[in-house]
C-alpha cells in the first residue's frame, strides 16, 4: 500500500468525526442516485401514462354530461308527443284547441332550462313558443324526418338571430326533430322541433380548456363541428386534419392519438357521445402535456443539490459537536458503572445528546430512589418485627408456663381454665416463629378460632362466628396475623356488656376472584362512626391491642408484602353492622376437592 493510501486510511480510522462524515455522504449519495435512475427509467413513463389516462377520463366525463343533456331533451320530446291533451288538441281544429296547443307547448318550454324554443308544424298550422327567431340559416333538411316513423333526428348547429325586445342577437342552435304519430291510428299528425342553445354544450366542457394552445370541440360523424368556444368555427369540417380519419372511424368509447401538426407534436383525446353520433375532441400539445413532469424533474434536481449542500454542512457541524460531549458522557457512565450513583452529566444541549444526558441523569436518580425505597421498606419491615417482639412477653417462656398450668387445671378438673389456656397456647404457637411471615389461610383461621374461644370466656359466650370458606382457599399463603386484628375490631365496636344484648355474630367468607384471594369479614354490630373510620388507617400506634398495631398495621403489611394495589377496605353494611374486605394475591393453592366448606365456631378443624 502506498504512503498516501495509508495516510487516508489512518485519517478515517482515527477520527470519529471523519467516520461520521464519510457515512453521511455515502448515505446521501447512494439513495439519491438510485432514486434518480429509477425515476428517469420508470417513473417518467408511469407518470406520463397516468396523466394521459386522467385527461381521457376528463373528456369522457364531459361527454357523459353532454349525454345527460341530450337524454333530457329526448325525454322532453317523449313527454310532448305522448301527452294526451296535446294529441287531443292536435286532432281538434277549433280555436280553443289552437290556444290549448300553445299553452301546452309553452309549459313544456318554460319547465326545461335547456330548451330555447319549440316549433310545431301540422298540415294546417304552425306553432312556435319560446325564442322568436328572425333569421335562420338554411341547414335543416326536413326530408331526414319524413323518412322516419317517429324516431329522433338530431340536426347540426346552425346560426340564428333571436329577437330580444327591439333588437336582435346572434345565437347558435342545434335541434331535435321528430314526427308526431297518433299511437291509436298511426297517422302522421305533424312535426315538432326542439331548439337548444349551443352554449349548453360549451358549458359542459369549457372547464377542461385549461392548457395553452389547446382546442376542444364537438363534431358529428362526418367531421362537421357542432360546438366550439370560437363560434366562427362552428359548421366547419375537420376531415383534412391529420387525426380526423382515425377519430371519426374509431369504434371505442374513448381514446387518444399522437400526431404532428406544423412540426408540433400533439395529442388528440376523444370520446363518443353515445346518445348521438357526435364526438367530443380535445387537442393538446405534448409540450404542455409533459410540462408538469419536466418542471417536476427540474425542481427535484434543484432540491437534491440544495439538500446535499445543506446536509454536508450540517454533517460537518454536528460531527464536530458530537465527539466532545460523548467523551464526557463516557467518563460519567464509567463512574456509574464503578458504583458511584451520585454522578451527573452536565451537558447544556437540547438535542439528542442532551436528551441522552438527561435520561442518564434521570436513570441514576431513579436508581437512587429505588435503593432508598428498598432501604426504607426493609427498615419498616424490621420495625414491624420489633413491634411484634414488644407485643410478646417472652413467648417461649409463656408457652411452657401455660402448658404447665393447662395440665394442672386438667388434673384439678377445671375444664374452662384448661380450654382457655389451650387456646392461648395455640395463639402463642403462631407468634413464636417470627421468621415465618407467611402462613396458610387454614392456619390463620385456626388462630382466629382459638382467639374467639378466649373471648367467649371473657364475654360469656356472646360471640358467634361462622366460617364460609371455599376449600380452594385454605392452602393460600397470606401474611401472618391479618384476620385476628379484624375480628378484634368487630369485638371492640360490636360487643356490649348488657346481659340482654343479642350475641355478636361474625361471618368470615373467602373465595377466589381471578388471581386474587378475597376475604370478607362481616358482623351485626352497631357499625363504626365516620370519625372512627377516618382514624382506622392513621399511623398512630396502639400498644393496647394484641395484634400488630391494629387494622392500619394489617393494611401496611399487606401492601408491603403484596403491593400497593392490595390491602383492606372497611365500611358499614347497608342494614346493620360492619364489613372488612381483604384483597391479596391468591398465592399457592391446592387443587379444589369440593364446594364451600361451612363451619361453626367451636369445631376443631376446617
64-96 tens-digit pLDDT: 888 888 888 888 888 888 888 888 888 776 667
> 130 in helix, strand or coil?
strand
Say whether pLDDT at 478 is over 50: yes
Say whether pLDDT at 479 is over 70: yes
Q: What pLDDT does residue 546 have?
A: 39
Say whether pLDDT at 320 is over 60: yes
Q: How many whole angstroms separate alpha carbon 86 and alpha carbon 98?
A: 10
> 343 in helix, strand or coil?
coil
Q: How many whole angstroms separate alpha carbon 446 and alpha carbon 508?
A: 12
Cell numbers at 291, concatenated: 410540462
Query: Does this model's pTM top 0.75?
Result: no
**Which of these ranges, 8-17, 296-305, 365-374, 486-495, has the smallest mean pLDDT?**
8-17
Q: What pLDDT does residue 548 have?
A: 36
Cell numbers at 253, concatenated: 368509447
Say whether pLDDT at 206 is over 50: yes
**Which of these ranges, 40-44, 152-156, 511-515, 559-563, has the smallest mean pLDDT?**
40-44
Mean pLDDT value of segment 235-258:
87
| Range among 105-114, 219-228, 279-288, 586-595 with highest mean pLDDT value | 219-228
- CB-count exposure of residue 119 (10 Å: 0-12, 13-18, 19+): buried
Nearest to 160 by CA among 116, 202, 123, 191: 116
Q: How many whole angstroms separate alpha carbon 400 and alpha carbon 139?
A: 135
Contact call for residues 240 and 259 (beta carbons, < 8 A): no
Mean pLDDT value of segment 476-481:
86
pLDDT tens figures, 147-170: 778 888 888 888 888 887 777 888
Contact call for residues 343 and 335 (beta carbons, < 8 A): yes
Q: How many whole angstroms separate alpha carbon 533 and alpha carbon 296?
A: 76
> 296 in helix, strand or coil?
helix
For cell 377519430, name the residue.
Answer: 247
Say whether pLDDT at 8 is over 80: no
> 281 in helix, strand or coil?
strand
Q: Which residues, including other chains, have CB under 8 Å from residue 370's CB and lie 6 or more apart? A: none
CB count within 10 Å of CB 314 equals 11
- CB-count exposure of residue 185 (10 Å: 0-12, 13-18, 19+): exposed
Nearest to 234 by CA among 163, 156, 286: 156
Cell numbers at 14, concatenated: 482515527
**Which of these ranges, 115-129, 136-150, 268-282, 343-357, has the smallest mean pLDDT?**
136-150
Please give the C-alpha separations between residue 243 and each of 154, 199, 256, 291, 409, in angstroms, as whole numbers.
25, 25, 10, 22, 129
Instruction: Sort strands 504-513 and 463-470 into parallel, antiparallel or unpaired.
Output: parallel
Q: Which residues, including other chains, have CB under 8 Å from residue 386's CB and lie 6 or more apart? A: none
User: DSSP letter string over 6-51?
Assistant: HHHHHHHHH-HHHHHHHHHHHHHHHHHHHHHHHIIIIIHHHHHHHH
What is the rounded average pLDDT for all residues in the chain?
77
Angle at 461 between CA 414 and CA 601, to 5 degrees: 95
Q: What pLDDT does residue 582 have?
A: 94
Q: What pLDDT does residue 520 have?
A: 94
- CB-count exposure of residue 392 (10 Å: 0-12, 13-18, 19+): middle
Helices 84-91 & 95-110, crossing angle to 10 degrees? 150
Cell numbers at 588, concatenated: 399457592
Phi first, then psi: what are they for 196, rounded to 5°? -130, 135
Q: Is 577 left (phi over 0), alpha (psi -120 to 50) or beta?
A: left
Angle at 216 between CA 215 and CA 219, to 5 degrees: 125
Q: How many whole angstroms separate alpha carbon 136 and alpha carbon 172?
A: 10
Could you tell me what percent of the chain has a pLDDT over 90?
A: 7
Q: What pLDDT does residue 84 have?
A: 83
CB count within 10 Å of CB 243 equals 19
Q: Radius of gyration over alpha carbons of the chain, in Å?
A: 52
Binned at pLDDT 50, 70 and 90, residue 433 comes out as: low
Binned at pLDDT 50, 70 and 90, residue 402 comes out as: low
Contact call for residues 133 and 162 (beta carbons, < 8 A): yes
Please give the C-alpha separations between residue 132 and each of 97, 127, 138, 171, 527, in angstroms, as whole numbers.
22, 11, 17, 12, 102
Amino acid at each position: 500500500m502506498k504512503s498516501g493510501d495509508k495516510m487516508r486510511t489512518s485519517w478515517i480510522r482515527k477520527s470519529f468525526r471523519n467516520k461520521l462524515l464519510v457515512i453521511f455522504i455515502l448515505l446521501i449519495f447512494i439513495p439519491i442516485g438510485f432514486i434518480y435512475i429509477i425515476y428517469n427509467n420508470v417513473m417518467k413513463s408511469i407518470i406520463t401514462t397516468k396523466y394521459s389516462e386522467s385527461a381521457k377520463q376528463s373528456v369522457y366525463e364531459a361527454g357523459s354530461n353532454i349525454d345527460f343533456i341530450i337524454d333530457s331533451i329526448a325525454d322532453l320530446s317523449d313527454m310532448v308527443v305522448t301527452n294526451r291533451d296535446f294529441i287531443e288538441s292536435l286532432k281538434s281544429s277549433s280555436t280553443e284547441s289552437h290556444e290549448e296547443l300553445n299553452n301546452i307547448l309553452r309549459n313544456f318550454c318554460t319547465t326545461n332550462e335547456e330548451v330555447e324554443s319549440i316549433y310545431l308544424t301540422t298540415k294546417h298550422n304552425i306553432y312556435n313558443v319560446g325564442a322568436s327567431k328572425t333569421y335562420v340559416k338554411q341547414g335543416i333538411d326536413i326530408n331526414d324526418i319524413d323518412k322516419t316513423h317517429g324516431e329522433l333526428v338530431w340536426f347540426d348547429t346552425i346560426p340564428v338571430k333571436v329577437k330580444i325586445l327591439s333588437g336582435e342577437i346572434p345565437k347558435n342552435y342545434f335541434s331535435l326533430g321528430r314526427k308526431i304519430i297518433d299511437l291509436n291510428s298511426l297517422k302522421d299528425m305533424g312535426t315538432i322541433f326542439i331548439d337548444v342553445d349551443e352554449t349548453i354544450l360549451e358549458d359542459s366542457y369549457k372547464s377542461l380548456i385549461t392548457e395553452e394552445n389547446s382546442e376542444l370541440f364537438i363534431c358529428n360523424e362526418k367531421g362537421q363541428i357542432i360546438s366550439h368556444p370560437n363560434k366562427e368555427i362552428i359548421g366547419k369540417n375537420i376531415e383534412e386534419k391529420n387525426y380526423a380519419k382515425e377519430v371519426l372511424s374509431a369504434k371505442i368509447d374513448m381514446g387518444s392519438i399522437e400526431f404532428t401538426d406544423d412540426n408540433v407534436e400533439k395529442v388528440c383525446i376523444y370520446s363518443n357521445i353515445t346518445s348521438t353520433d357526435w364526438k367530443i375532441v380535445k387537442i393538446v400539445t405534448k409540450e404542455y402535456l409533459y410540462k408538469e413532469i419536466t418542471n417536476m424533474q427540474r425542481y427535484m434536481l434543484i432540491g437534491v443539490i440544495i439538500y446535499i449542500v445543506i446536509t454536508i454542512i450540517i454533517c460537518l457541524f454536528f460531527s464536530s459537536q458530537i465527539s466532545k460531549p460523548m467523551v464526557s458522557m463516557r467518563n460519567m457512565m464509567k463512574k456509574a458503572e464503578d458504583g458511584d450513583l451520585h454522578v451527573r452529566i452536565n451537558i447544556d444541549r437540547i438535542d439528542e445528546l442532551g436528551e441522552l444526558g438527561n435520561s442518564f441523569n434521570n436513570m441514576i436518580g431513579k436508581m437512587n430512589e429505588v435503593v432508598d425505597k428498598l432501604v426504607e421498606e426493609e427498615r419498616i419491615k424490621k420495625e414491624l418485627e420489633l413491634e411484634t417482639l414488644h407485643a410478646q412477653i417472652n413467648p417461649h417462656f409463656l408457652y411452657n408456663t401455660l402448658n404447665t398450668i393447662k395440665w394442672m387445671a386438667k388434673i384439678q378438673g377445671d375444664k374452662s381454665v384448661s380450654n382457655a389456656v389451650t387456646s392461648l397456647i395455640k395463639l402463642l404457637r403462631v407468634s413464636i416463629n417470627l421468621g415465618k411471615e407467611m402462613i396458610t389461610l387454614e392456619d390463620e383461621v385456626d388462630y382466629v378460632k382459638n382467639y374467639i374461644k378466649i373471648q367467649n370466656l371473657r364475654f360469656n359466650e356472646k360471640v358467634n362466628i361462622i366460617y364460609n370458606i371455599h376449600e380452594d382457599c385454605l392452602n393460600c399463603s397470606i401474611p401472618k396475623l391479618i384476620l385476628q386484628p379484624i375480628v378484634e375490631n368487630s369485638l371492640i365496636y360490636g360487643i356490649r356488656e348488657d346481659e340482654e344484648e343479642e350475641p355478636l355474630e361474625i361471618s368470615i367468607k373467602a373465595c377466589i376472584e381471578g388471581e386474587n384471594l378475597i376475604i370478607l369479614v362481616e358482623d351485626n354490630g352497631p357499625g363504626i362512626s365516620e370519625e372512627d373510620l377516618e382514624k382506622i388507617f392513621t399511623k398512630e400506634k396502639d400498644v393496647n391491642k394484641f395484634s400488630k398495631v391494629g387494622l392500619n398495621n394489617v393494611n401496611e403489611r399487606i401492601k408491603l408484602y403484596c403491593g400497593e394495589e392490595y390491602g383492606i377496605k372497611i365500611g358499614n353494611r347497608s342494614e346493620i353492622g360492619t364489613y372488612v374486605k381483604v384483597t391479596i394475591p391468591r398465592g399457592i393453592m391446592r387443587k379444589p376437592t369440593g364446594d364451600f366448606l361451612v363451619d361453626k365456631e367451636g369445631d376443631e378443624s376446617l
